[in-house]
């Protein structure tokens, strides 16, 4: 592997290699070998796990243990009729699903799956920009336009209400989410995603321990950001039929779905990076656990992400749905003040210690 990389590098030259070949290969690998299959199998995992929680089996017919179910789903959605309502605003209707999926996948560019490159190797991330976290937050919030546009352009009252709900919800919950993210940033002193993980290694503890409040705030706000139960108001099926994607069918509907699941993975990955030490093994400071070191960082990263994804599914299997005004209450009256307090406390401690 290393020799292959080396030979490619010498053939095309350093500039071209690090400027184009390596990122391109990484993006393709990330997109087609990691994110899309992960999303596909996340849907299967969700249906299976929900099934197990609900005393039933879930889909198990297509392939062994239902493992080919996602492929069957995709095939079905691809060949299904894709209808656009007569009075829909066509350009917005077509644009909306792309606006949901695009940013969600874009975020993966700055998420470090593993450490920086060692000599002669490749790093485990597409790029490391020094404002990585800002990029994540900014990109992720573009997704809300997709939901609003989709809801509005469908020319359906249920869709419109779903779109409005999602707008209010996502904007409200971005505030506590952002404030919760500032805690680790203060501790690390950098916005770079790689830098934050490295700071956790240098500090010898995961930031979830000093930032436990921030962690829970981020968790709750993250569930709300991704419109998942118990905050799945924009698509609440018993109230708004299917909310903003009522009128969507076929692959456009699948794109919304894809976006939702990609967002779930994004939120999980960001939480892992900022609070759970990214690719670091558990208790990076305890020497007794050094035998865990040979396990590649990407495995630890994936394990932590899976824990979050399981939490998402678990919540969905357990909780009723909040009402719109109660959701706003929770966001503005509880989470934002607590997040602000947490932030002030963190800053104070940081100031005193430093």
| Residue numbers at the binding site for another protein (CB under 8 A) | 49-57, 86-90, 155, 157-158, 161, 229-230, 232-233, 236-241, 314-326
Residue 152 tokens read as 């509005």
> Least distance (Å) from another protein to the CB of residue 312?
12
Query: How many whole angstroms separate alpha carbon 327 and alpha carbon 280?
Result: 35
> Least distance (Å) from another protein to the CB of residue 62?
13
* 173-to-231, 239, 286, 304 alpha-carbon distances in Å: 11, 21, 36, 23
Query: How many whole angstroms separate alpha carbon 132 and alpha carbon 273?
Result: 11
Query: How many whole angstroms separate alpha carbon 223 and alpha carbon 263?
Result: 10
> Least distance (Å) from another protein to the CB of residue 90?
6
CB 172 within 8 A of CB 329: no
- Is the Cα torsion angle 235, 240, 243, 245 positive or negative in sign? positive
Q: Which is nearer to another protein, 56 or 209 (CB)?
A: 56
> Least distance (Å) from another protein to the CB of residue 72?
14
Q: Which is nearer to another protein, 49 or 140 (CB)?
A: 49
> Least distance (Å) from another protein to the CB of residue 345?
16
Q: Which is nearer to another protein, 14 or 56 (CB)?
A: 56
Neighbours of 76 (CB within 10 A): 11
CB 159 within 8 A of CB 246: yes
Query: How many whole angstroms separate alpha carbon 305 and alpha carbon 111?
Result: 12
> Least distance (Å) from another protein to the CB of residue 263?
19
* 135-to-86, 141, 156, 199 alpha-carbon distances in Å: 38, 10, 33, 19
Q: Which is nearer to another protein, 141 or 155 (CB)?
A: 155
> Which of 263, 297, 275 minimizes the C-alpha distance to 35?
263
Q: Which is nearer to another protein, 161 or 196 (CB)?
A: 161
CB 93 within 8 A of CB 84: yes
Query: How many whole angstroms separate alpha carbon 244 and alpha carbon 240?
Result: 8
Q: Which is nearer to another protein, 5 or 50 (CB)?
A: 50
> Least distance (Å) from another protein to the CB of residue 140?
24
- Is the Cα torsion angle 242, 243, 249, 253 positive or negative in sign? negative
> Least distance (Å) from another protein to the CB of residue 180?
17
Q: Which is nearer to another protein, 73 or 232 (CB)?
A: 232
Q: Which is nearer to another protein, 205 or 314 (CB)?
A: 314
């Amino acid at each position: 592997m290393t020799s292959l990389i080396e030979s490619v590098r010498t053939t095309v030259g350093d500039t071209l290699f690090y400027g184009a070949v390596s990122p391109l290969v990484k993006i393709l690998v990330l997109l087609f070998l990691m994110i899309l299959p992960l999303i596909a199998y996340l849907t299967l995992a969700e249906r299976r796990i929900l099934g197990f929680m609900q005393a039933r089996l879930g889909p198990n017919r297509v392939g062994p243990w239902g493992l080919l179910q996602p492929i069957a789903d995709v095939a079905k959605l691809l060949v299904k009729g894709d209808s656009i309502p007569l009075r829909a605003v066509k350009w917005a209707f077509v644009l909306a699903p792309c606006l949901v999926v695009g940013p969600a996948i874009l975020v993966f560019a700055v998420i470090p799956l593993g450490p920086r490159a060692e000599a002669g190797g490749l790093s485990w991330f597409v790029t490391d920009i020094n404002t990585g976290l800002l990029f994540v937050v900014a990109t992720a919030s573009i997704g809300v336009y997709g939901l609003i546009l989709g809801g509005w352009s469908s020319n359906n009252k249920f869709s419109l209400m779903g779109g409005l709900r999602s707008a209010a919800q996502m904007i409200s919950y971005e505030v506590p989410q952002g404030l919760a993210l500032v805690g680790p940033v203060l501790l690390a002193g950098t916005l770079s995603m790689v830098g934050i993980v490295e700071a956790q290694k240098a500090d010898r503890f995961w930031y979830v321990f000093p930032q436990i409040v921030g962690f829970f705030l981020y968790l709750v706000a993250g569930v709300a950001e991704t419109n998942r139960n118990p905050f799945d108001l924009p698509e609440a099926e018993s109230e708004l039929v299917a909310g903003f994607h009522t009128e969507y069918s076929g692959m456009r509907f699948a794109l919304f779905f894809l976006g939702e699941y990609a967002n779930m993975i994004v939120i999980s990955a960001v939480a892992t990076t900022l609070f759970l030490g990214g690719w670091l093994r558990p208790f990076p400071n305890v020497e007794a656990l050094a035998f865990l070191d040979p396990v590649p960082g990407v495995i630890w990263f994936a394990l932590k992400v899976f824990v979050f994804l399981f939490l998402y599914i678990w919540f969905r299997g357990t909780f009723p749905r909040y009402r719109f005004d109660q959701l706003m209450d929770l966001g503005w009256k509880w989470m934002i003040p607590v997040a602000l307090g947490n932030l002030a406390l963190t800053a104070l401690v940081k100031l005193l210690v430093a």
